[in-house]
Amino acid sequence: MEHTYAPWRSAYFGSKSEQCIFCLLSSGISLETHAKSNNLAEFDTENRIFYRDSHIFCVMNKFPYTPGHFLIIPHIHTHSPELLDAEVWLHLQRYAQKGVALLKEFGAQGINMGINIEKAGGAGIPEHIHMHLVPRYIGDTNFFTTIGDTRAYGVDFDAIFKRIAELSQKHFKP
């Protein structure tokens, strides 16, 4: 049996909270200071949320597989799509479609898009459904990653967030 190790994700596995991280983000709390605001969007930049509406919000993945990896998350706390209202589910799908166009303009040469349902299905946060949009680039999985046990993230995370947020203004119009 072969094993693939991803040591760059070790901080994720050691950072489990008693509260659902996605519900905290949805509610507008600062993840750094735990401050709460009446303005849901006050801490969005700090939390790397670049879009929100009444059904969903979009946030950069804190532990991205590739530059530009983001999540689309319904505000409702549920673990499986059949439990979502059809309107929310279809809204999430519409924004996934828009997210593909956004990532293509960002420079993605391909995109992985999907939802891991339940722990056995690979969900890292199985209690709150979320869709991953992972931009792919020729050569993003290579010797350095697969054999060298290291991932090179050669771009600035904040610059990527700013660019994705900028593109969302164009692509995520209602």
Least confident of 10-14, 62-66, 74-78, 95-99: 10-14
| Between 93 and 3, residue with greater pLDDT | 93
- Residue 141, C-beta contacts closer than 8 angstroms, at least 6 positions apart: none
Sorted by sequence, the CB contacts under 8 Å of residue 45 that are 6+ apart come out as 165
- Pick the range with the lowest mean pLDDT from 10-14, 102-106, 113-117: 10-14
Q: What are the φ/ψ torsions at residue 85 (nearest 5 degrees)?
A: -60, 140
Residue 60 pairs in a beta bridge with 70
Taking residues 85-108, what's their average pLDDT?
Answer: 98
Tell me the C-alpha distance between 152 and 104, whole Å. Answer: 21
**pLDDT for 152:** 57
Mean pLDDT of 113-126: 95
Res. 155: pLDDT tops 60: yes
pLDDT band at residue 8 under the 50/70/90 scheme: very low
The percentage of residues in the chain with a pLDDT greater than 90, rounded to a whole number, is 67
Least confident segment among 28-37, 88-97, 104-113 = 28-37
pTM for the whole thing?
A: 0.84
Tell me the percentage of the chain whose pLDDT exceeds 70: 82
Residue-level pLDDT at 140: 77
